[in-house]
């Protein structure tokens, strides 16, 4: 497809031409199928045992370069049809979706909140990293999505999780958590390789509607974490309104917060923006990370790591 045809097809994304390096390569990548990646669930078996089982059944894969419990399937179209899926040995999860829990510096025995948890990929990954110790509160506002979350944690053998159904903006402050994940609802531009339908709804109105929801969720999250604790804020969109502008809003209104650099050895990323449409943002937003599809052959992700220092 010609560059002009590509730009027409992905016209709503043209606003990012000056902030996404290699913009034409970015557009070309959006036309390619997303690789099939799964997480090896070590709550049920050792990673080596799961990979041996896959090899014995002729399933080809390659390990992810940066995460020992992630693999890319090479000759499987639907991982959810595999026997290993039904046994809870693997969980289909997009590669960049595995990043936020890894950044949480999780320790055994901690009390952790996933504020927008359903359908549960990241929440169950948190339980896995913690080895089923401590306690994970998986919250979501949607009853329908919570049923998917329950199915996933039962299939994967999670034992340290409870499910709550609150509007995350008003999650009750009964205690403070060691770590909080806010994988916020968003405009989903980063999943276009999997679902072109995300293009249909993009508009300035949507970006600012999501911005108001996201900043309220993040404001609640930084109050729910203990001093010294970590809040991870992530979205699967490229929109600065839903990413840097949300974090900037919270940093300027809540004292005692500090952004920490995001580093994932083995994955390339670009820094967060410190300016958008003539508006200067907090300089530490450069510590955030933007993962673009054409850089690592993945979906898209924005992630910020916030520590509450007081």
Instruction: Write the DSSP symbol of residue 294.
Output: H
Q: Which two tokens stand for residue 123?
A: 């929440």
Q: Which residue has the tokens 């890319």?
A: 72
What is the C-alpha to C-alpha distance for residues 126 and 121, in angstroms, rounded to an integer?
9
236 is annotated as an active-site residue: yes
Residues whose CB falls within 8 Å of the CB of residue 4, separated by 6 or more in sequence, listed in order: none
Q: How far apart, in Å, are the Cα atoms of 2 and each of 7, 28, 197, 306?
A: 9, 10, 22, 42
Among the listed residues 29, 116, 186, 236, the single catalytic one is 236
**How many angstroms separate the CA atoms of 254 and 251, rounded?**
6
Contact (Cβ atoms closer than 8 angstroms) between residue 272 and residue 302: yes
Helix, strand, or coil (residue 27): helix
**H/E element holding 210?**
helix 204-224
Report the length, in residues, of the chain.
Answer: 310
CA dist., res. 100 & res. 116, Å (int): 13
3-class DSSP state of 238: coil
Tell how far CA 219 is from the center of its chain: 18
Among candidate residues 181, 171, 155, 147, the one with its CA nearest the CA of residue 39: 155
Tokens of 225: 């974490």
Question: CB 15: neighbour CB atoms within 10 A?
Answer: 16
Task: Tell me which residues are annotated as active site.
Answer: 236
């Amino acid at each position: 497809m010609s560059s002009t045809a590509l730009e027409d097809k992905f016209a709503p994304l043209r606003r990012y031409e000056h902030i996404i390096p290699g913009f034409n390569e970015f557009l070309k990548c959006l036309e390619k199928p997303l690789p099939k990646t799964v997480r090896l669930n070590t709550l049920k078996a050792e990673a080596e045992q799961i990979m041996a089982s896959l090899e014995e059944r002729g399933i080809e894969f390659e390990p992810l370069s940066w995460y020992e419990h992630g693999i890319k399937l090479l000759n499987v179209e639907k991982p959810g049809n595999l026997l290993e899926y039904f046994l809870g040995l693997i969980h289909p999860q997009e590669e960049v979706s595995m990043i936020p829990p890894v950044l949480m510096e999780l320790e055994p025995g901690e009390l952790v909140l996933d504020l927008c948890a359903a359908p549960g990929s990241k929440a169950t990954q948190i339980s896995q990293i913690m080895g089923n110790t401590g306690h994970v509160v998986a919250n979501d506002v949607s009853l329908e999505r919570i049923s998917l979350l329950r199915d996933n944690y039962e299939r994967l053998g999670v034992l340290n999780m409870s499910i709550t159904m609150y509007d995350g903006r008003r999650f009750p402050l009964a205690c403070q958590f060691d770590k909080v994940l806010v994988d916020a609802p968003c405009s989903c531009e980063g999943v276009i390789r999997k679902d072109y339908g995300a293009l249909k709804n993009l508009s300035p109105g949507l970006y600012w509607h999501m911005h108001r929801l996201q900043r309220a969720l993040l404001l609640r999250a930084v109050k729910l974490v203990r001093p010294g604790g970590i809040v991870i804020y992530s979205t699967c969109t490229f929109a600065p309104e839903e990413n840097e502008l949300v974090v900037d809003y919270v940093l300027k209104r809540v004292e005692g917060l500090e952004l920490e650099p995001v580093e994932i050895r083995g994955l390339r990323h670009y820094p967060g923006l410190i300016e958008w449409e003539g508006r200067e943002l907090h300089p530490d937003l450069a510590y955030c990370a933007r993962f673009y599809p054409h850089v690592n052959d993945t979906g898209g992700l924005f992630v910020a790591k916030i520590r509450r220092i007081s």
